Amino acid sequence: MNFLEERILKDGIVKEGNVLKVDSFLNHQMDIELLDRIGEEFYNRFKDKNITKVLTIEASGIAIACFVAKYFNVPLVFAKKSKSVNIDGDMYVAEIESFTHNCKNQVIVSQKFLNNDDHLLIIDDFLANGCALQGLISISENAGATIEGIGIVIEKGFQIGGKVIRNLGYHLESLAIVESMDASTSTVIFRDQGGNG
Amino acid sequence: MNFLEERILKDGIVKEGNVLKVDSFLNHQMDIELLDRIGEEFYNRFKDKNITKVLTIEASGIAIACFVAKYFNVPLVFAKKSKSVNIDGDMYVAEIESFTHNCKNQVIVSQKFLNNDDHLLIIDDFLANGCALQGLISISENAGATIEGIGIVIEKGFQIGGKVIRNLGYHLESLAIVESMDASTSTVIFRDQGGNG
Instruction: Tell me the per-residue pLDDT of B163-185, one tens digit each, with 9 for 90 and over.
Output: 999 999 999 999 999 999 999 99
Give residue B86's pLDDT band: very low, low, confident or very high (50, 70, 90): low
- Establish if B100 belongs to a structural domain: no
Provide the β-strand partners of residue A189.
A180
Measured in angstroms, the CA of A58 and the nearest CA of chain B are apart by: 6
Q: Which helix (H) or strand (E) holds A38?
A: helix A32-46
Contact A92, A122 (CB under 8 A): no
Residue A127 lies in a domain: yes
Nearest CA in chain B to A65: B63
Judge whether residue B130 has pLDDT over 90: yes
Q: What is the pLDDT of residue B102?
A: 74
A46 belongs to a structural domain: yes
Q: Which of A24, A26, A30 to mutate to test the interface with B (most CBs of B within 10 A)?
A: A30
Nearest CA in chain A to B53: A29
Does residue A67 lie within any of the structural domains? yes
Contacting B with CB below 8 Å, chain A residues are 23-24, 28-33, 35-36, 58-60, 62-63, 66-67, 69-70, 73-78, 80, 109-110, 112-113
CATH number at residue B144: 3.40.50.2020
The answer to whether residue B195 is domain-embedded is no
The burial class, CB within 10 Å (0-12 / 13-18 / 19+), for B95 is exposed
- pLDDT number for residue B19: 93
* Confidence tier at A175 by pLDDT (50, 70, 90): very high
The total of structural domains in chain B comes to 1
Instruction: Report the pLDDT value the prediction gives residue B174, as an integer from 0 to 100.
Output: 98
Nearest CA in chain B to A74: B32
Is A66–B29 a contact, with Cβ atoms under 8 angstroms apart?
Answer: no
Identify the sign of the CA torsion A69, A72, A77, A79.
negative
Best of A55, A78, A110, A124 to disrupt the B interface by mutation (most B CBs within 10 Å)?
A78
B164: which DSSP letter?
H
User: Looking at the predicted structure, is the pLDDT value of residue B124 above 70?
Assistant: yes
| Closest-CA distance of chain A to residue B58, Å | 6
Average pLDDT value over all residues in chain B: 94
Domain extent for B59: 3-79+112-190
Interatomic CA distance for residues B40 and B44, integer angstroms: 6
